[in-house]
Amino acid sequence: MIEHEQIAQESYNPNRLLDTLLERMHLKNDAALSRALEVAPPVISKIRHKRLPVGASLLIRMHEVADISIRDLRDLMGDRRNKYRLSHVQGKPKTVDLMGAEAAGALH
């Protein structure tokens, strides 16, 4: 594992983010937070126990509901990256096997 990825994982703390949302939105518990964010309660539990990362769509929903900037939400959970990076698979065009497509067309 790359050193900066290890540092990022060590500082990653979704509980700080979730607790801040609870406080800011005057909610009593994670069940109330899940209702406010319109996600199933196990999603919040899995995030709290670091079994599920906070995805982009949920981060946007948190921003919309709590009126906290995306940058501040990322800071709260310990994400210090300046920008998100796509994986080596994302962003690449899909390749088509022309030989396979021609062969399949010849069979019909």
CA pair distance 90, 93, nearest whole angstrom: 8
User: What's the pLDDT tens digit per position in 44-100?
Assistant: 999 999 999 999 999 999 999 999 999 999 999 998 766 555 556 555 666 666 666
SS3 category, 50: coil
Q: Which superfamily does CATH assign the domain made up of 3-82 to?
A: lambda repressor-like DNA-binding domains (1.10.260.40)
Cα dihedral 19, 45, 85, 65, rounded to 10, equals -50
- CA gap 19, 62 in Å, rounded: 12
pTM above 0.85, yes or no: no
Q: Report the C-alpha gap between 77 and 13 in whole angstroms.
A: 5
